[in-house]
Amino acid sequence: MRRALLEVRSALPADVLASTGEALARRALELDELSGAGSPGAAPTVAAYVSIGGEPSTRALLDRLRAAGVRVLLPVLLADNDLDWACYEGAGRLVRAGRGLLEPAGPRLGPEAVTAADVVLLPGLAVDRGGLRLGRGGGSYDRVLARLERAGARASLVVLLYDAEVLAQVPAEPHDRRVHAAVTPSAVHRFAAPGARAEG
């Protein structure tokens, strides 16, 4: 399933990727979690990521969140595939890292920084109608989700996808966790039992 989804993404033309990013940003900003994240009087914190390759583009969304006063955290890939975090300070402060990733140039905040996020935007390849997310299989975000659970964090978990990647069912493993919502260019999908582990 991962291979088939990646093949579809790799065939998308550049103009489709660009227009998808704008539509995704508009749709994501409709979420109450993003428009009203955080405590009154405090700058909300959103953990996000810089899209690469055929992923739905997050560039417009990152800039709009930052312009709205949101504190945006971006991941920094560590040697063991875990994620550190640093603040997004604009596109001009992103640096090229390994595996084609763009990472923030600012000070590293540590892997636990994500536990302060009000919303965690997750990459993925698909999500099913029960809220189970299919990732790339590297395990980085499985660690993030486990870290949030251990910390008792109440962050909203939102996966960003193309419309055709909301499926009836995706393969699940016992450690997989459900997300609260998926945002696609044309819709917001809400799921029951957010955060719960998969069965079997």
Q: What is the 3-state secondary structure (H, E, C) of the chain?
A: CHHHHHHHHHCCCHHHHHHHHHHHHHHHCCCHHHHCCCCCCCCCEEECCCCCCCCCCCHHHHHHHHHCCCEEEEEEECCCCCEEEEECCCHHHEEECHHHCEEECCCCCCHHHHHHCCEEEECCCEEECCCEEECCCCCHHHHHHHHHHHCCCCCEEEEECCHHHEECCCCCCCCCEECCEEEECCEEEECCCCCCECCC
Q: pLDDT 10s digit of each residue in the chain, 200 long?
A: 889 999 999 998 888 888 899 999 999 999 988 875 555 556 689 999 999 889 999 999 999 999 999 999 999 999 999 999 999 999 999 999 887 899 999 999 999 999 999 999 999 999 999 999 998 878 899 999 999 999 999 999 999 999 999 999 998 877 778 999 999 999 999 997 554 554 43
- As a whole number of angstroms, the distance between CA 108 and CA 124 comes to 24
User: What is the pLDDT, as a whole number, of residue 53?
Assistant: 87
Going along the chain from its start, the domains and CATH numbers come out as 2-190 (3.40.50.10420)
Q: Residue 160 pairs with which residues in a beta bridge?
A: 183
* pTM for the structure as a whole: 0.91
